[in-house]
Amino acid sequence: MSRRAVSANGRSGHGSSANGGPGIPEATIARLPVYLRVLYAFAEQDIPTVSSEELAAAAGVNSAKLRKDLSHLGSYGTRGVGYDVEYLVYQVSRELGLTQDWPVVIVGAGNLGRALANYGGFASRGFRIAAVLDSDPQVVGTQIAGHGVLDVEQMEQVVARHRVSIGVIATPAGTAQAVCDRLVATGVTSILNFAPVVLNVPAGVDVRKVDLSIELQILAFHAQRRSVVRVPQDAQAAQAVGR
């Protein structure tokens, strides 16, 4: 079986439409969850319809890009009216596969794993934490968000019992690949990886990599660039005052 490493942007696999049509571009798929979050906010405010300009502004994209993205879902809105918020929530949710329940297993019950298990936003979006696993005897048996932490050796039984298709890896880097291999062997085809390591997976398995340290480094780069720009400006201002 061939294996491949996850690409630099943390994504492996290809986009495809829930409607069976041509694949949706990866960039569009990445923006759909943003649109959905904004749409939920509009729905909570009892806003029945929204224009492409309003939705685009709230999502931080231009309206032309938004209309093109939504056209992949077969949604074109109504001229002079805009988009029906409730129906668009359904369309985006359907395309993202959120109209069904997704059992999730978290492997690693350290600080990060605990925080993820306690996050209430997963359930409201259709992701149910089925189990939390760990290999530390002192952690196994403890309670996290109503879940008794199970021994990682029970992974196969847990995945089969709950029909888990999404696994979250919140382990140290040194054990992440072995955990990934076991998840894949049990039939898990979608993995969210928080470990600071590139995972090798077989074809047909999707991996999303979340590395908080990399994101902080990118922010540090931009902060440094801004400070470099400010220093010459401040120096020029001081010289002008001294004249």
Instruction: Please report, as a single letter, which amino acid is at residue 236.
Output: Q
The third-level CATH classification (topology) of the domain covering 26-95 is Arc Repressor Mutant, subunit A (1.10.10)
Q: Which of 26, 96, 27, 31 is nearest to 60 (CA)?
A: 31
Instruction: Please report, as a single letter, which amino acid is at residue 158.
Output: V
**Could you give the CA distance from residue 110 to residue 144 in angstroms, rounded to a whole number?**
10
Sign of the dihedral through C-alpha 56, 10, 193, 164: positive
Tens of pLDDT, residues 138-180: 999 999 999 999 999 999 999 999 999 999 999 999 999 999 9
- CB-CB neighbours of 48 under 10 Å: 12
Q: Whole-number mean pLDDT of the chain?
A: 88
**Could you give the CA distance from residue 157 to residue 199 in angstroms, rounded to a whole number?**
23
β-pair partners for 143? 148
- CB-CB neighbours of 200 under 10 Å: 16
Q: Collect the ranges in the chain with pLDDT lower than 70.
A: 1-22, 229-243
How much is the pLDDT for 124?
A: 79
How much is the pLDDT for 242?
A: 58
Domain boundaries, the chain: 26-95, 101-213
Cβ 193 vs Cβ 171: under 8 Å:
no
How much is the pLDDT for 23?
A: 81
Backbone torsions φ then ψ of 106, nearest 5 degrees:
-105, 125
**Could you give the CA distance from residue 157 to residue 133 in angstroms, rounded to a whole number?**
12
DSSP 88-118: HHHHHHHHTTTTS-EEEEEE--SHHHHHHHH
The SS3 assignment for 141 reads: coil
The third-level CATH classification (topology) of the domain covering 101-213 is Rossmann fold (3.40.50)
Domains 26-95 and 101-213 agree in fold: no
Q: Which of 158, 160, 181, 161 is nearest to 171 (CA)?
A: 181
